[in-house]
Chain A
Amino acid sequence: MEERDLVEQARSGDAGAYEELVRRYQEVAFRAACLVTRDAHEAEEAAQDAFVKAFYALDRFRPGAPFRSWLLRIVTNEARNRNRSARRRARLGFRLAGARPSGDAAPSPEVTALGHETQRELMDAMTALDERDRVIIAYRYFFEMSEAEMAVALDCPPGTVKSRLSRAMRHLRTHLVAGLARPEPAPDPRPGAQRG
């Protein structure tokens, strides 16, 4: 069923239609929450809360707007609220150590071409970024969102998306430069190196 139809049915109170929307977007919602919380459990809670809130906020959803972007705005807000109220948390980060390659597809040529060291440097820089910069970069390159979609997700005018992305990339580069000065970290001894 088309997303537009599902949204319309959910707006009229059809919980089943909304469940289908949840299944479609739970992965991107969870991952977006992970980007903010860097903790799998917190991300799960944030994503779940966001889906419940989004259901009750569907009246404010503009028909025809990108649902995924609208949802991600709620998800990231929810995740930020959790960050503010919970100062503890074991940092999950985005370490590639122990990360499993995608099981449903062969690695793309680009990934194959991306050396392990390059991956690590990029992920370290992403982890070191301010959360808002990290989310912007992830929206663009990890979730492959258009600038129009990003404007909805970031709740900002479309005209400012480019400049905010550019600034985030500048900050990323700053962290990459900083990485040059750091010694290579010892391998993570934990078998999984991530929670969840």
Chain B
Amino acid sequence: MADRELVNMDDAELGELLRALGRQRSYPPTPDLAPAVHARIRARSGATRRQRAWPLAMVAAALVALLCVGALAFPGARSTVAGWLNLPGVTFFAETVGDRPVLGGALRLGEPVTLAEARERVLYPLLVPDLPWLGDPDEVYLDAEPAGGTVSFIYHAGGEIPPAETTGVGLLLSQFQGQVNPGMYGKGLPDGVELEYLEINGHVAFWISGEPHTFSYFRPDGQPVQETSRLAGNTLLWQHGGLTLRLESGLDRDQAVEIAESMR
């Protein structure tokens, strides 16, 4: 039977007992985490703290310079940038946000398919979020580019998914093969847009929030493509194995990361 005196104690008395209890080691032995943490930090040579410590303006300026001077003329320069950021197929460059594109329908994500069809037709194991509150995608699209295919999932707004600010869609999640065919992908970083570095799956990831921004990418042949049919809301860009994934939504950062980490 329980100690009735415990129940009748005030917070201070109970606190003293808890304090005493806390001094008793009732935890599993603490593993030595330092070697693994050290190794993981070392392994990420392309994204050291020193580089991260750069102010955003410096990062943007460096990328603008690199891309303006050499990107279009020297595809190798783009690969360098992508490797530097440790996210294959992705880089950033500053550009001016023009008039907001039209909303809705014209997302130009490719051919509408079923999830099963998408799985069969892409050249990589398709990843799908595994979260009860998110469920299955409402629409699935397949685009042939870049090589290997791009699959985009649309989730309708509702429940825990707020409407994205400009697309009217709740959530847009795209994946493509970045390493095999490092088509370049750009994100404008105008005033009002914030870039935050995160880590997902042991790789650097990017959380881009704030004002809507246009985005562009380079096709495998090196030609830049600018998409103007939709604007991104909050965007999470990350890597999973050989894939680069992009999540655009009105969700907050932690929810976006939760989705990213649930991909199976």
List residues of A whose CB falls within 8 A of some B CB. 10-13, 15, 18-19, 22-23, 26-27, 29-31, 34, 40, 43-44, 47-49, 51-53, 55-56, 58-59, 77, 81, 84-85, 92, 94-96, 99-103, 107-108, 110-111, 113-115, 117-119, 121-123, 137-138, 140-144, 166, 169, 172-173, 176-177, 179-180, 182, 184, 194-196
Contacts and interface: CB of A to CB of B under 8 A. Distances in A.
Interface stretch (B24-32, B119-127, B184-192, B213-221): B24-32
Contacts of A58: 49
A78 to B, nearest CB: 10
B80 interface: no
Nearest to B28: A196
Contact of B37 (A40, A48, A121): A48
A56 B20 contact: no
Interface SS of chain A: helix
Contacts of B1: 180, 184
B3 A111 contact: no
A144 B27 CA distance: 16
Contacts of B28: 34, 40, 43, 92, 194-196
B42 interface: yes
Given A12-B53, A30-B30, A118-B3, A102 B258 contact: no
A14 B42 CA distance: 11
Contact of A172 (B14, B26, B31, B36): B14
Contacts of A22: 33-34, 37-38
B23 A102 contact: yes
B22 A142 contact: yes
Contact of B197 (A26, A40, A56, A94): A56
Interface string B1-35: 11110110001001111111111111111111110
B262 interface: yes
24 contacts: A22-B37, A26-B33, A48-B40, A52-B199, A53-B199, A56-B47, A56-B52, A96-B26, A101-B24, A102-B25, A114-B20, A114-B21, A117-B3, A118-B3, A118-B6, A121-B2, A121-B3, A122-B6, A122-B17, A122-B18, A137-B18, A142-B22, A173-B14, A180-B7
A121 B77 CA distance: 65
A175 to B, nearest CB: 10
Interface residues of B, number: 52
B171 to A, nearest CB: 18
A7 B87 CA distance: 27
A52 B37 contact: yes
Contacts of A96: 24, 26
Nearest to A35: B27
Contacts of A51: 33, 37
